[in-house]
């Protein structure tokens, strides 16, 4: 597993700043983290990184996140740093860290998932985050963080792109359309306009460095 624990991502999400305690899912491509992968590039196993952005605590004792994964994608294995222990399963992660995960940059790497696409979807496929089962915060259908200093302190978390669909397969060739009638194929220029809130830029830092 890659030893990347911290990265700095600058996200253009509606032109606004990142909110605290939000979760993302990213794939490393040529030194950049992106939240999509063309299906033709997913024929070999690939890694996805579960991340928390701008955590409101200095250290993380654990986290929870459930996810819906398209039928065309298999999760081959998962793992993480600091004695990462999953009491759920690959798509229902209820995780504790034996040693609290200290986050010194804007983003913490919680887990890496090794995946494989076994078919090419003919529709816009996405991985969708939601709450774990069972959920530690009743009524909150989303990710949860536990404070590393006081694990009983739980934070209800949101999504870094503002939507629970956090990772796309086949995008930008295919994308959910905002037009009446649902899904349609978009031209390159239309995709650029439609996908501005998913545009990503990134740079990597060594653990402990501040970007």
- Look at residue 44 and tell me if it is in a domain: yes
Strand locations in the chain, DSSP E? 7-11, 22-29, 32-34, 36-37, 46-53, 59-68, 73-79, 84-86, 92-102, 107-117, 125-130, 144-147, 154-156, 158-159, 165-169, 200-204
Q: Does any domain span residue 144?
A: yes
**What is the model's pLDDT at position 186?**
36
Token pair of 21, please? Answer: 């305690």
* Domain contains 211: no
Mean pLDDT computed over 30-42: 79
Q: Which domain holds residue 87?
A: 7-204
Beta strands 73-79 and 107-117, pairing class: antiparallel
Write down the pLDDT at residue 75.
Answer: 96
Q: Is residue 2 part of a domain?
A: no
If one compares 173 and 134, the residue with the highest pLDDT of the two is 134
Contact 58, 102 (CB under 8 A): yes
> What CATH number is attached to the domain comprising 92?
2.60.40.680
- Condensed to tens digits (0 to 9), the pLDDT of residues 5-21 reads 333 343 333 333 456 89
- pLDDT category at 199 given cuts 50, 70, 90 is very low
Number of structural domains in the chain: 1
- pLDDT of residue 68 exceeding 60: yes
Residue 31 falls within a domain, yes or no? yes
Residue 209 lies in a domain: no
The CA distance from 42 to 45, in Å, is 7
Would the CA dihedral through 77, 78, 84, 88 be positive or negative?
negative
Please check the confidence at residue 3 and state whether its pLDDT lies above 50: no
Residue 1 counted as domain residue: no
Tens of pLDDT, residue by residue over 143-155, are 999 999 999 999 9
Q: What are phi and psi of 104, to 5 degrees?
A: -110, 0
Domain contains 154: yes
């Amino acid at each position: 597993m890659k030893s990347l624990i911290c990265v700095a991502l600058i996200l253009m999400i509606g032109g606004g700043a990142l909110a605290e305690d939000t979760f993302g899912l990213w794939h490393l491509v040529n030194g950049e983290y992106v939240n999509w992968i063309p299906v033709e590039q997913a024929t070999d196993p690939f890694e996805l990184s579960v991340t928390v952005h701008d955590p409101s605590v200095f250290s993380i004792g654990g986290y929870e996140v459930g996810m819906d994964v398209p039928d065309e994608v298999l999760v081959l294995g998962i793992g993480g740093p600091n004695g990462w222990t999953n009491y759920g399963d690959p798509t229902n992660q209820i995780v504790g860290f034996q040693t609290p995960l200290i986050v010194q940059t804007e983003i913490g790497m919680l887990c890496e998932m090794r995946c494989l696409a076994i078919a090419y979807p003919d529709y816009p496929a996405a991985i969708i985050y939601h709450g774990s089962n069972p959920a530690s915060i009743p009524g909150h259908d989303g990710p949860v963080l536990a404070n590393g200093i006081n694990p009983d302190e739980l934070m209800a978390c949101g999504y870094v792109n503002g939507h629970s669909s956090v990772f796309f397969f086949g995008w930008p060739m295919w994308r959910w359309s905002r037009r009446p009638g649902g899904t349609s194929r978009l031209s390159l220029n239309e995709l650029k306009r439609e996908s501005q809130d998913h545009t990503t830029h990134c740079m990597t830092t060594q653990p402990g460095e501040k970007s």
